[in-house]
Amino acid sequence: MLSATLEFKDVFPRYQQRDVSYTSLPSEEEWRKVQVICKFLGEFEELTKLISGSKYPTANLFLPELVLIKNLLKEKSQETFMVVFVTTIREILRTLYRDWLRARYGIKAKSRDKDSIKEITLT
């Protein structure tokens, strides 16, 4: 949806000229943020498709993609407006990883097991 909006970026000012009640014209900074978010979501989608494919039955085969996701999240967290978004994604990934560890190795949710969960950290 955001990428479709970018395609019509030049139309918004003309729409504002036609409809005086339209007062929410995005600024150049807002358009830049939309571009950053679209690029991030596109890259993130490609990486998650690689990992979720049945082609990778064990974690060691998709570890390079996990590292790419980690680096992508680190890079995008440099953008102030992306910090909350990236932090949320990191927490979701941590939860998924913790659930996978519990299912795979029977690790219980106790404080002594936090070290086990830190084997692969997405921070």
Question: Cα(28)–Cα(44) distance, rounded to whole angstroms?
Answer: 24
Question: Which residue is associated with the tokens 């913790």?
Answer: 98
Confidence at residue 5, expressed as pLDDT on a 0 to 100 scale: 87
Put simply, whether the predicted model's pTM sits higher than 0.85 gets the answer: no
Confidence at residue 54, expressed as pLDDT on a 0 to 100 scale: 57
Q: Which residue has the higher pLDDT, 42 or 122?
A: 42
* Average confidence (pLDDT) over 2-25: 88
Confidence at residue 2, expressed as pLDDT on a 0 to 100 scale: 80
Question: Cα(55)–Cα(50) distance, rounded to whole angstroms?
Answer: 8
Biggest CA pair distance of the chain: 64
99 contacts 119 by C-beta, under 8 angstroms: no
Q: Which residue has the higher pLDDT, 40 or 113?
A: 40
Tens digit of each residue's pLDDT (9 = 90 or more) over 45-99: 888 887 776 565 566 667 777 788 888 999 988 889 899 989 998 898 888 878 8
Confidence at residue 69, expressed as pLDDT on a 0 to 100 scale: 86
Confidence at residue 38, expressed as pLDDT on a 0 to 100 scale: 92
